[in-house]
Amino acid sequence: MPQTPAARRYAKALLELAKEQKAQELIGQELSHIAAALAEPEVAQILTRQAPSAKGSKDLVKQLVTSLSPHPLLANFLGVLAENDRLTSLTDISETYQTLLEEALGKIRVQIRSAAPLSKKELQSVVDAFGKLTKKTVIPTLEVDPDLLGGVVVTLAGQVYDASLKSQLRRMGEALAQQE
């Protein structure tokens, strides 16, 4: 999901404050849980009703803080979001925060698609290769895609590394067609 400028500003500010308190990972976990709670259909419907009042948003935040007891920094942050009518952006802010946190911790997410489930050894080999390439800790997301026939396709920060059998066969076919 693309990051909105507002979500990036809020997430960046929250991360900076969390770093000062050495609580960036805890804040990230709590923020994810609260964003998931607010994304529940019933709650999301309340938040997106026609022009919810600032008082209604503040009351919702008070209920969340009372029931979930988040870190004081996060509780204050939620209050600021309610005051600025940004609670509906919490999911985007949370996703952006997680991305910024991973960058700060030297981690990167990669999507690995394979024709069949990878063995632990195969997965570790792919993770190690991309760890060396990026000089970061790789967090893999796995997906099985039988259409690939064999091999893997790795997506990393928008860059696609295609080592699938399907692509290799297609390239061979194109090369043969050019020879004729």
The full 3-state SS of the chain, as one line of letters, equals CCCCHHHHHHHHHHHHHHHHCCCHHHHHHHHHHHHHHHHCHHHHHHHHCCCCCHHHHHHHHHHHHHHHCCCHHHHHHHHHHHHCCCHHHHHHHHHHHHHHHHHHCCEEEEEEEECCCCCHHHHHHHHHHHHHHHCCEEEEEEEECHHHCCEEEEEECCEEEEEEHHHHHHHHHHHHHHHC
pLDDT on residue 126: 93
Tell if the pTM clears 0.75, that is, is over it.
no
pLDDT in tens, 137-179: 999 999 999 888 888 899 998 899 988 878 777 888 888 888 8
List the chain domain ranges. 5-103, 107-179
Q: What is the mean pLDDT of the chain?
A: 87
The CATH number given to 5-103 is 1.10.520.20
Q: Does the fold of domain 107-179 match that of domain 5-103?
A: no
Mean pLDDT of 7-18: 96
**Any idea which architecture 107-179 has in CATH?**
3-Layer(aba) Sandwich (3.40)
